[in-house]
Structure formats: structure tokens, C-alpha cells
């Protein structure tokens, strides 16, 4: 009878394969989170003093606003962040904490999850602020201005649908 060598698919091989899949999955998740946060922070070209990409953060809801309304909401968001909302320094600290957690050995899933939740909280906080400011702006509009906004919003939605 012929002896066979142990295969890499044994218990240790499966653990290694799962670890590789976990790292790949985590990398893809981080890439997605990075793209989303990057788009919100930069919003095109970073000018050093602008609020995160308002027009990208809310999609068609923001793109349907007129330029004056977008600028006004952008000013309000910048002011809110100057008044103590978490800004770039907080985002950098959150990313740094995540990177440090990723480098820990052994891998500490709970720590990485906590850091990702912190990142999600930053994004949700910005989105909530943007929605509040948009609602305030919509409330200040005349009925005809709101109707024109609704028309532009319909256009934005149809443009997106046509591209798909």
C-alpha cells in the first residue's frame, strides 16, 4: 500500500484558507468604506475649507438643489464642523485606530468591528446633519420653489435610471 502525504486541505490548510478569505473580505470592505468616506470628505477636489462632498453625500436630493441652496447648505455644514462636529482630525484618528487594530496579532475581530462602527457613526452623523439642513432649506422654500425642486429631483432620478 502506498503512503500519501498530508494535503494542504487538512485542518490547518482549511484554517489558512479561511484566514486568507477573511483578509480578502476585510480588505474589500475597507476599500468600500474608504471610497465612501473619501467621496464624502473630498467631494471632488479638496479645497481645505469645504465641507464634505455635499452633492455626493445625498445624491439626487442635493444635486436637485439650485446653486444658491447648495452653497448655503455647504456654508452651514462647514460652520457646524467648525463649531465642534467631528472633522478631518477625528476621521484620521479613527482610520489610524482601525489600521492599528488590523495590525494586531492575533486578529481581534471585536476591535476591528468597533473601529468600523466608529467610522459608520461619523458617516451617519454627517448624513443626519445634511438631511436636517436640507429639510430646513426645503421648509423655507416657497411652494413654487419646492415644486421646481421636485421637478429637478424627478429629472435627477430619471437621469440615474437611464444610465443603468
47's enclosing H/E stretch is: none
Residue 108 counted as domain residue? yes
**pTM of the complete model:** 0.55
The Cα 72–Cα 137 span in angstroms is: 9
pLDDT of residue 62: 84
Is the residue at 27 inside a domain? no
Residue 34 lies in a domain: no
In total, how many domains does the chain have?
Answer: 1
**Residue 50 forms part of a structural domain:** no
Q: Is residue 47 part of a domain?
A: no
Distance CA 57, CA 37 (A): 9
Residue pair 22/10 in contact (Cβ under 8 Å)? The answer is no
Q: How far is CA 128 from CA 33, 116, 122, 138, 141, in A?
A: 18, 18, 10, 15, 20
Is 10 inside any structural domain?
A: no
Domain CATH code at residue 161: 1.20.120
Give domain status of residue 42, yes or no.
no
Q: What's the rounded Cα separation, in Å, for the pair 71 and 120? A: 26
Residue 141 to residues 65, 91, 131, 147, 152, Cα–Cα distance (Å): 11, 34, 15, 9, 14
Which element (helix H / strand E) includes 62?
helix 60-63
Q: Could you read off the pLDDT tens digit of each residue along the chain, which spans 164 residues?
A: 555 555 555 555 567 666 665 666 555 555 555 555 555 444 444 444 444 444 444 588 888 898 999 899 888 888 877 766 666 778 888 889 999 999 999 999 999 999 999 989 988 888 888 889 999 999 999 999 999 999 999 998 887 777 76
Inter-residue contact 152 to 141 (CB < 8 Å): no
CB atoms within 10 A of CB 24: 10
Domain containing residue 113: 59-164
- Residue 38 belongs to a domain: no
Amino acid at each position: 500500500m502506498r503512503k500519501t502525504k498530508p494535503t494542504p486541505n487538512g485542518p490547518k490548510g482549511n484554517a489558512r484558507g479561511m484566514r486568507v478569505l477573511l483578509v480578502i473580505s476585510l480588505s474589500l470592505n475597507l476599500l468600500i468604506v474608504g471610497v465612501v468616506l473619501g467621496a464624502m470628505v473630498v467631494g471632488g477636489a479638496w479645497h481645505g475649507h469645504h465641507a464634505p462632498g455635499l452633492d455626493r453625500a445625498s445624491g439626487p436630493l442635493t444635486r436637485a438643489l439650485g446653486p444658491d441652496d447648495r452653497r448655503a447648505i455647504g456654508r452651514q455644514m462647514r460652520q457646524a464642523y467648525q463649531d465642534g462636529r467631528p472633522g478631518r482630525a477625528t476621521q484620521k484618528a479613527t482610520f489610524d485606530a482601525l489600521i492599528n487594530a488590523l495590525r494586531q496579532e492575533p486578529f481581534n475581530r471585536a476591535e476591528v468591528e468597533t473601529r468600523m462602527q466608529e467610522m459608520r457613526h461619523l458617516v451617519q452623523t454627517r448624513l443626519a446633519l445634511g438631511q436636517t439642513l436640507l429639510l430646513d432649506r426645503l421648509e423655507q422654500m416657497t411652494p413654487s420653489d419646492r415644486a421646481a425642486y421636485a421637478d429637478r429631483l424627478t429629472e435627477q432620478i430619471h437621469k440615474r435610471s437611464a444610465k443603468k
